[in-house]
């Protein structure tokens, strides 16, 4: 067996030399044990190896396992590929704690450490699970443009880019394009970046984040879309609990099992619940961060870590959500995970005339959306979908305090390098 990786610790215990290697194969390090009398030649090579070296080894899992930190190996072959040209700027052994700012600067290096590595292994697992779910359930993966002429949600959070002679924007969501594709595919999904010039610097917003987006046609109502989302989230969470035990253990988090259906709360019910708790909530506005968190506490007590809020009021939503007849409410829902919104979605307005009316009602100009509106003229089926935030989901699965911990290279108000 050949394993490659980086040295994160070196220790001499009496005559025994121990070298810990962080490799791609597992979250736990490989613990290489060298004894001068057993492998004199290798021992002499290993003696000169230190933290930060990149190496490969061939060997066998040792019969006797004494290390609590990783799996012990006896080595038969050792090849050094690179050594640091200067001391490492951060401690990859985990002995010295690292401040968040430094962590974010050196994440690519700190990912040699089991706890940091675990986050990114689980992140990859979330994406892998999502793809598996979609492939098993008849969705096709699509890719939509990231340079766009119109924003999905209006101007406030758009990043401008110079596009030759004209102005364009970075895509804040694949919303309009994924809907257009329901004119030719029944079920589509995209795993995509969102670019948003969020005004506030918070622990749950990034300026470049990733979403798992879905749009599905031929639905009989918003419930069909909610079913897809709850099945997907339960599948991902349970997949991580099943396949990433070492990672969860390295991070000291308990694994969670989710069963469907998730609890559904009407927006109006949520208003009543929160008012009875003394919060000032309006019937025609989105929930505040505080209200979301309070509801999370109430739902956690009732053993509902994940729950839907459905039927948001029209003044709080984007134009493309379907409205209930003669009502201020829409078929928009949120999915919240212990007090944090992780997804938004709903049934869309697929009737051309009503959609044009809705765009006007939001004070937008239908002409700016003509490329999108055209897709509704030639047999657009009833449809709906959602956007599920990858970092928000990961935050909740791994109990991370700050969304920045869920990405390698953070884009926020103050970070554009590395």
Binding mask 70-109 for Mg ion (x = CB under 5 A): ----------------------------------------
Q: How far apart are CA 59 and CA 144, in angstroms?
A: 46
Say which entry of ligand ATP, Mg ion, none residue 387 contacts (CB below 5 to 8 A, set by partner kind): ligand ATP
Give the whole-angstrom CA distance, residue 235 versus residue 412: 30
Shortest Cβ distance from residue 256 to ligand ATP (Å)? Answer: 18
Nearest CB to Mg ion, comparing residues 192 and 344: 344
- The separation between the first and the last C-alpha atoms of the chain, rounded to the nearest angstrom, is 35
- Residue 326 C-beta: closest distance to ligand ATP, Å: 26
Q: How far is CA 80 from CA 42, 45, 211, 292, in A?
A: 12, 9, 39, 52
3-state secondary structure of 74: strand
Site string for Mg ion, 332-351 (x = CB under 5 A): ------------x-------
* CA nearest neighbour of 335 among 251, 214, 220, 191: 214
| Nearest distance in Å: CB 343, Mg ion | 7
Residue 177 host element (H or E) = helix 175-181
Smallest distance from Mg ion to CB 332, Å: 8
Residues 306 and 230: their CA atoms lie apart, in Å, by: 9
- Of ligand ATP, Mg ion, none, which one sits near residue 342, judging by CB under 5 to 8 A according to partner kind? ligand ATP
Nearer to ligand ATP, 109 or 279 (CB): 279
Asked if 172 is part of the footprint of Mg ion (rule: CB under 5 A), the reply reads no
User: Is 198 an annotated catalytic residue?
Assistant: yes
* Catalytic residue status for 293: no
Per annotation, catalytic residue among 123, 205, 323, 383: 205
For every residue of 249-293, DSSP letters joined together read HHHT-------SSPEEEEHHHHHHHHHHTT----TTSPPPHHHHH
270 CB-near residues (< 8 Å, 6+ apart): 281, 287, 291, 295, 309
Of 331, 348, 350, 392, the catalytic one is 392
The residue annotated as part of the active site, out of 115, 153, 186, 198, is 198
205 binds, among ligand ATP, Mg ion, none (CB under 5 to 8 A by kind): ligand ATP
Q: What's the Rg (C-alpha) of the chain?
A: 25
Q: Has 205 been annotated as catalytic?
A: yes
Closer of 103 and 392 to ligand ATP (Cβ): 392
- Tell the smallest beta-carbon distance from residue 340 to ligand ATP (Å): 8
- Among residues 204, 323, 348, 383, the one annotated as catalytic is 204
- Please give the torsion angle defined by the CA atoms of residues 287, 292, 294 and 296, in that order, rounded to the nearest 10 degrees: 150
Rounded Cα gap, residues 215 and 348, in angstroms: 10
115 binds, among Mg ion, ligand ATP, none (CB under 5 to 8 A by kind): none
Binding site for ligand ATP (CB under 6 A): 173, 194, 196, 198, 205-206, 209, 211, 341-344, 387, 389, 391-392, 403
Contact footprint for Mg ion (CB under 5 A): 344
Catalytic residue positions, numbered? 196, 198, 204-205, 341, 344, 392
């Amino acid at each position: 067996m050949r394993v490659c990786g980086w040295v994160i610790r070196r220790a001499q215990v009496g005559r025994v030399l121990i070298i810990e290697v962080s490799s791609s194969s597992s979250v736990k390090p490989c613990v290489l044990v060298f004894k001068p009398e057993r492998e004199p030649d290798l021992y002499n090579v290993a003696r000169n190896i230190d933290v930060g070296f990149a190496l490969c080894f061939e060997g066998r899992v040792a019969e006797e396992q004494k290390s609590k930190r990783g799996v012990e190996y006896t080595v038969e072959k050792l090849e050094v590929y690179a050594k640091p040209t200067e001391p490492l700027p951060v401690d990859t052994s985990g002995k010295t704690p690292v401040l968040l700012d430094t962590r974010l600067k050196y994440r690519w290096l700190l990912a040699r450490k089991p706890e940091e590595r675990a986050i990114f292994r689980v992140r990859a697992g979330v994406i892998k699970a999502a793809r598996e779910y979609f492939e098993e359930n008849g969705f096709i993966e699509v890719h939509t443009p990231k340079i766009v002429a119109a924003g999905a949600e209006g101007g406030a959070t758009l990043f401008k880019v110079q596009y030759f002679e004209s102005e364009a924007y970075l895509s804040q969501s694949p919303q309009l394009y994924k809907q257009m594709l329901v004119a030719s595919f029944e079920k589509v999904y995209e795993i995509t970046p969102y670019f948003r010039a969020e005004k506030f610097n918070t622990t749950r917003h990034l300026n470049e984040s990733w979403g798992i987006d879905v749009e599905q046609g031929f639905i009989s109502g918003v419930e069909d879309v909610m079913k897809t989302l709850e099945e997907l989230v339960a599948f991902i969470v349970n997949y991580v609990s099943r396949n990433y035990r070492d990672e969860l253990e390295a991070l000291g988090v308990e694994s969670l099992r989710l069963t469907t259906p998730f609890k559904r709360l009407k927006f109006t019910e949520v208003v009543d619940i929160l008012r009875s708790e003394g919060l000032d909530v309006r019937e025609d506005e989105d929930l505040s961060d505080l209200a979301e968190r309070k509801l999370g506490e109430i739902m956690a007590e009732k053993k509902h870590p994940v729950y839907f809020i459905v039927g948001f009021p029209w003044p709080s939503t984007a134009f493309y959500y379907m409205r209930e007849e003669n009502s201020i409410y829409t078929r928009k829902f949120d999915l919240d995970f212990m007090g944090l919104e992780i997804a938004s979605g709903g049934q869309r307005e697929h009737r051309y005339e009503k959609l044009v009316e809705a765009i006007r009602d939001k004070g937008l100009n239908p002409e700016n959306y003509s490329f999108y509106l055209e897709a509704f003229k030639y047999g657009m089926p009833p449809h709906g979908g959602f956007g599920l935030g990858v970092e928000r989901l990961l935050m909740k699965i791994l109990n991370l305090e700050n969304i920045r911990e869920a990405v390698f290279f953070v884009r926020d108000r103050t970070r554009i390098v590395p």
